């Protein structure tokens, strides 16, 4: 199975809501990533879990909180988001080295 799955596909939330995005892979990869992508822009790295160690892009606000329950699952918890957080959120996985990353289809998030 060479697929990364993400749920939900679409999410609309208010600024006071709490929601979570989910990502799963069964390729035995030891690194998983969250990216944020605005329209007509490249993906920007938010978080990396590599061998269960978290690395954070320090520009990411604390209203985004990652969680890695096990090596196959990656969650992104959302709380008190702003309209400018509306974007496509992409999950990816890799062996943890310098090789290719496998991307999921993304979650289209709209914050009202």
Partner 1 sequence: SQQGEEDPQALSIQEGENATMNCSYKTSINNLQWYRQNSGRGLVHLILIRSNEREKHSGRLRVTLDTSKKSSSLLITASRAADTASYFCATFSGSARQLTFGSGTQLTVLP
Residues that bind partner 1 (CB under 8 A): 4, 40-45, 48, 55, 88, 90, 92, 98-106, 108
Closer to partner 1 by Cβ: residue 43 or 66: 43
Burial class (CB within 10 angstroms; exposed 0-12, middle 13-18, buried 19+) of 95: middle
Q: How far apart are CA 98 and CA 57, in angstroms?
A: 18
Find the shortest distance in angstroms from Cβ 90 to partner 1: 6
Find the shortest distance in angstroms from Cβ 36 to partner 1: 12
Closer to partner 1 by Cβ: residue 66 or 106: 106
Closer to partner 1 by Cβ: residue 15 or 56: 56
SS3 10: strand
Find the shortest distance in angstroms from Cβ 77 to partner 1: 21
Q: How far apart are CA 97 and CA 94, in angstroms?
A: 7
Q: How far apart are CA 100 and CA 107, in angstroms?
A: 21
Find the shortest distance in angstroms from Cβ 112 to partner 1: 19
């Amino acid at each position: 199975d060479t697929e990364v799955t993400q749920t939900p596909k679409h999410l609309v939330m208010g600024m006071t809501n709490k929601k979570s995005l989910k990502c799963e892979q069964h390729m035995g990869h030891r690194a998983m990533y969250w990216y944020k992508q605005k329209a007509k822009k490249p993906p920007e790295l938010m978080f990396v879990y590599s061998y269960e160690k978290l690395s954070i892009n320090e520009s990411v606000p604390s209203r985004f909180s990652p969680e890695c329950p096990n090596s196959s699952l990656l969650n992104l918890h959302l709380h008190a988001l702003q309209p400018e957080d509306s974007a496509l959120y992409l999950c990816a996985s890799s062996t943890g080295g310098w090789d290719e990353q496998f991307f999921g289809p993304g979650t289209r998030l709209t914050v009202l």
